[in-house]
Amino acid sequence: MSRIGKQPVIVPAGVTVVVGSDNVVTVKGPKGELKQTIDRDIKVEVKDGAVHFTRPTDQIRHRALHGLYRAIAAGMVKGVTEGYKKNLELVGVGFRASNQGNLLDLSLGFSHNIVFEVPKELKVTTAQEKGQNPVVSLEGIDKQLLGQVAAKIRSLRKPEPYKGKGVKYAGEQLRRKAGKAAGK
């Protein structure tokens, strides 16, 4: 059995989980509503304030999906109760970020600014404090969408290994390389 898949997802007070037709799981909570289609082979039951996932056989495919959908459901429950947040740091001289609503304007050392439209499901804020690197904060209830958008913003200028310049996640440890050795 999958160790993750065996564990039930505890549903806190104020959150409702409904399994509809076609194995669509709907999670409603104080922060919003999320839906996820579950593979037809995986059975989903809501009982005693918990969501249970079972698989029909021990095939590799079923074992993989068993833990996957349990983890997705747990992420959905956490998202509608607490929400998720990711911070990105812009490391580099002259790197700036500003936003107007969900339009993110990034100055990353290219000849032009990059205007990035953040999906309406996410909330974006930017901060620039004196002596600190600019910070872009993304908040939302959908863990997958939040991670995908954060990765897309990071890919606009990945941190380089020599000076660490670029867009990085807050708290991310970068592998640094030694520079060119000095002359004789």
Domain that holds residue 116: 84-169
Q: How confident is the model at residue 179, as a pLDDT?
A: 84
How many structural domains is the chain composed of? 2
Q: What is the pTM of this model?
A: 0.88
Strand extents, DSSP E, 55-158: 84-91, 96-100, 103-107, 114-117, 123-127, 135-140
Q: How confident is the model at residue 21, as a pLDDT?
A: 86
Shared-domain flag, residues 120 and 92: yes
Shared-domain flag, residues 112 and 44: no
Q: How confident is the model at residue 4, as a pLDDT?
A: 85
Q: Among 26, 46, 81, which residue terminates a domain? A: 81
**Cα 30–Cα 34–Cα 39 angle in degrees, nearest 5:** 145
Q: Among 32, 65, 81, which residue terminates a domain? A: 81
Q: How confident is the model at residue 184, as a pLDDT?
A: 58
**Helical (H) or strand (E) element with 43:** strand 43-47
Q: How confident is the model at residue 183, as a pLDDT?
A: 58
81: alpha, beta or left? (left if phi > 0; alpha if psi -120 to 50): alpha
Residue 181 belongs to a domain? no
One-letter amino acid for residue 27 of the chain: V
Task: Compute mean pLDDT per 10 residues along the chain, 184 residues long, and list them.
Answer: 82 92 92 93 91 92 92 94 95 93 93 94 93 94 95 95 93 89 64
Shared-domain flag, residues 91 and 123: yes
